[in-house]
């Protein structure tokens, strides 16, 4: 070869290499905006009553750097927190293994019971309405309404829509009137008007309309009363007869004589309620809310984070053991979903593999892999993509991507590290579960080899490093992960010269010179170039009320 040509080739190559490295690795990171300010999305999600998702750990494999992993984790957290599908469990909760607020078992039981009874009352009311409209089975309708009223009255603390109770009173009154019991009808209608003074009846029912006029006249003669509600808990909201009065203390005036229902609610307390009979006087009530206990010292932590975090490093999501531990931990911290993730590396860049555990389905789903540029220059877009995968998985759980075998990311890396991949021929479709456990071959301890890799799947890939004896053999798998894959590292092993020190080579110093020259050249090019317009715009606002 012509020495001049050789020299030119070498110089040009290194200038180009450095320029390329500068423009693709350094510049984008420093110039691209991050652009999203995630603040307090968690607070919004919490109020909306979303399920919780806990990020257990972001493990790293294949020599992925800690900084890159930390950045991915940081942005993933921020993106999930800003999202609206789930609420991100605080890291302090995950680390401690204790939930922040837990409703007592007794309160939960009480609430469930009330909800069931109110639902039954709703059903009875609707059924009775149909009967009354059709003027059939009036006695049954009256009984149904009586039962509905009892349930509404008994569980009014959890009742949100008091018009149901009013409707039940009015309908019961109508049924009694149709059955000829005017006295009972008047009593029930009075209760309805006391709760809703603006109550109206169908004008087609003249008897009912007349009775309403009479009831209104009676109530007008009685003295009206006032209820004053006080509560020391900041943020407690007061409702009288289902009408929100605002934050405590609150006063409801001009209440008709009769029974009125006071409710006090707070997001971190059990709902409080009491009924009062107002007879022309002022009633003062002090609501004492039972706050949900902070279980810092009450919860027994049976599964520590340190126990389950290594699962992200080892995989095994298809095993019962990992599922059981995950289930226990999710119940312990009251998070419905657990997210395990691992960042691995391939020739093109980094890969984020995520595995989502749903404690209700008691299953793991493998989410689509998210590739990143090795310098994370596309991190913002890719994290959005990752959050999308999580969101879709949650909305469609259990998905078709349920983990039934060890995920490929774990088997792949082991193969790259030197262990011969044990890929067994899948059994016939009829016997997806092998009746006898296939024997496993001990890992090969073959020394590093520079022999070009064999293209035969399953015959083992030449490795760069010797395999540690502690590495356990890969379990036989029959899912998608067992598909024979060509080793992505195979090409890198070509022309590897491990015996020669790099600093002693002529081309190292040539390269170093070229790096400097190339860097300067690229910097000049970039400084004279108009930057491409950003795909985003900035919004500035100022409060000028």
Nearest distance in Å: CB 408, other proteins: 30
* Residue whose CB is less far from other proteins, 96 or 163: 163
Nearest distance in Å: CB 219, other proteins: 17
Residues 226-265 that bind other proteins (CB under 8 A): 234-235, 243
Task: Name the strands in the sheet holding 225-231, side by side, starting at the edge strand that comes first in the sequence.
Answer: 250-255, 225-231, 282-287
**Distance spanning both ends of the chain, measured CA to CA:** 77
- Neighbouring residues of 263: CB distance < 8 A, sequence distance ≥ 6: 156, 157, 238, 239, 240, 242, 271, 272, 273
- Residue 275 in contact with other proteins, rule: CB under 8 A: no
- Residue 41 in contact with other proteins, rule: CB under 8 A: yes
- Residue 530 in contact with other proteins, rule: CB under 8 A: yes
- Residue 164 in contact with other proteins, rule: CB under 8 A: yes
- Residue 17 in contact with other proteins, rule: CB under 8 A: yes
- Residue 536 in contact with other proteins, rule: CB under 8 A: yes
Site string for other proteins, 320-359 (x = CB under 8 A): ----------------------------------------
Residues 469-488 that bind other proteins (CB under 8 A): none
Residues 83-102 that bind other proteins (CB under 8 A): 83-84
- Neighbouring residues of 479: CB distance < 8 A, sequence distance ≥ 6: 318, 403, 404, 405
Question: For other proteins, which residue of 126, 214, 396, 512 counts as binding (CB under 8 A)?
Answer: 126
Q: What is the 3-state secondary structure (H, E, C) of 260-289?
A: EEEEEECCCECCEEEEEEECCCEEEEEECC
* Residue whose CB is less far from other proteins, 105 or 220: 220
- Residue 49 in contact with other proteins, rule: CB under 8 A: no
Please tell me the count of residues contacting other proteins according to CB under 8 A. Answer: 74
Question: For other proteins, which residue of 1, 67, 220, 502 counts as binding (CB under 8 A)?
Answer: 1
Q: Are 60 and 341 in contact (CB under 8 A)?
A: no
- Residue 301 in contact with other proteins, rule: CB under 8 A: no
Nearest distance in Å: CB 11, other proteins: 8
b/e map 471-482, b = 16+ CB within 10 Å: eeebbbbbbebb
Read off φ and ψ for residue 358, nearest 5 degrees: -105, 115
Site string for other proteins, 364-403 (x = CB under 8 A): ----------------------------------------
Residues 414-473 that bind other proteins (CB under 8 A): none
Nearest distance in Å: CB 31, other proteins: 5
How far apart are the C-alpha atoms of 316 and 308, rounded to whole Å? 11
Nearest distance in Å: CB 144, other proteins: 14
Q: Are 390 and 339 in contact (CB under 8 A)?
A: yes
Distances (CA, A) of 537 to 36, 38, 220, 383, 533: 12, 17, 64, 20, 10
Nearest distance in Å: CB 35, other proteins: 3
Three-state DSSP class for 238? strand
Torsion of CA 127, 130, 131, 135, to 10 degrees: 170
Nearest distance in Å: CB 292, other proteins: 12
Three-state DSSP class for 161? coil
- Residue 127 in contact with other proteins, rule: CB under 8 A: no
Question: For other proteins, which residue of 69, 167, 345, 442 counts as binding (CB under 8 A)?
Answer: 167
Q: Are 219 and 257 in contact (CB under 8 A)?
A: yes
Question: For other proteins, which residue of 37, 92, 425, 435 counts as binding (CB under 8 A)?
Answer: 37
- Give the chain's radius of gyration (CA, Å): 35
Residue 111 structure tokens: 């609430």
Site string for other proteins, 188-217 (x = CB under 8 A): --------x-x-x--xx-------------
């Amino acid at each position: 070869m012509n020495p001049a040509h050789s020299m030119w080739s070498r110089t040009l190559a290194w200038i180009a290499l450095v320029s390329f490295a500068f423009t693709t690795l350094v510049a984008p990171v420093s110039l691209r905006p991050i652009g999203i300010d995630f603040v307090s999305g968690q607070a919004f999600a919490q109020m909306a009553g979303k399920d919780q998702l806990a990020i257990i750990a972001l493990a790293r494999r294949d020599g992925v750097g800690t900084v890159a992993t930390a950045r991915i984790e940081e942005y993933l957290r921020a993106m999930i927190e800003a999202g609206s599908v789930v609420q991100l469990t605080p890291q302090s909760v995950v680390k401690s293994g204790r939930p922040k607020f837990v409703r007592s078992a007794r309160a939960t039981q009480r609430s469930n019971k009330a909800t069931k009874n109110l639902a039954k009352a709703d059903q009875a009311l609707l059924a009775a309405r149909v009967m009354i409209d059709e003027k059939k089975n009036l006695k049954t309708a009256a009984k149904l309404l009586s039962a509905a009223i009892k349930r509404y009255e008994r569980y009014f603390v959890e009742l949100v829509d008091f018009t149901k109770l009013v409707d039940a009173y009015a309908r019961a009154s109508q049924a009694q009137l149709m059955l000829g019991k005017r006295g009972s009808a008047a009593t029930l209608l009075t209760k309805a008007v006391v709760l809703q003074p603006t109550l109206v009846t169908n004008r087609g029912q003249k008897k009912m309309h007349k009775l309403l006029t009479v009831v209104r006249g009676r109530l007008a003669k009685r003295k009206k009363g006032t209820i004053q509600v006080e509560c020391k808990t900041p943020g407690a909201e007061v409702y009288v007869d289902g009408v929100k009065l605002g934050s405590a203390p609150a006063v409801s005036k001009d209440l008709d004589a009769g029974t009125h229902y006071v409710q006090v609610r707070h997001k971190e307390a059990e709902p409080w309620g009491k009924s009062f009979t107002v007879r022309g006087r002022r009633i003062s009530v002090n609501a004492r809310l039972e706050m949900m206990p902070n279980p810092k010292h009450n919860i027994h932590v049976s599964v520590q984070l340190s126990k389950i975090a290594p699962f992200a490093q080892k995989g095994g999501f298809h095993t019962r053991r990992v599922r059981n531990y995950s289930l226990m931990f999710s119940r312990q911290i009251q998070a419905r979903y657990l997210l395990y993730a691992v960042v691995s590396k391939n020739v093109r860049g980094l890969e984020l593999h995520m595995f989502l555990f749903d404690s209700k389905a008691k299953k793991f789903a493998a989410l689509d892999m998210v590739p990143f540029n090795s310098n994370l220059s596309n991190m913002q877009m890719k994290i959005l993509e990752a959050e999308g995968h999580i969101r879709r998985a949650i909305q469609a759980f259990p998905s078709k991507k349920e983990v039934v075998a060890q995920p490929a990311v774990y088997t792949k890396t082991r193969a790259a590290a030197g262990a011969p991949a044990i890929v067994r021929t899948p059994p016939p479709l009829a016997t997806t579960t092998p009746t006898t456990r296939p024997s496993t071959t001990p890992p090969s301890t073959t020394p590093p080899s520079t022999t070009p890799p064999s293209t035969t799947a399953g015959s083992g890939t030449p490795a760069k490093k010797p395999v540690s004896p502690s590495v356990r053999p890969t379990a036989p798998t029959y899912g998608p992960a067992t598909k024979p894959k060509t080793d992505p590292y195979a090409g890198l092993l070509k022309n590897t010269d491990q015996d020669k020190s790099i600093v002693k080579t002529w081309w190292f110093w040539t390269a170093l010179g070229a790096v400097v020259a190339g860097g300067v050249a690229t910097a000049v090019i970039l400084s004279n170039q108009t930057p491409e317009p950003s795909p985003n715009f900035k919004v500035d606002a100022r409060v000028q009320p």
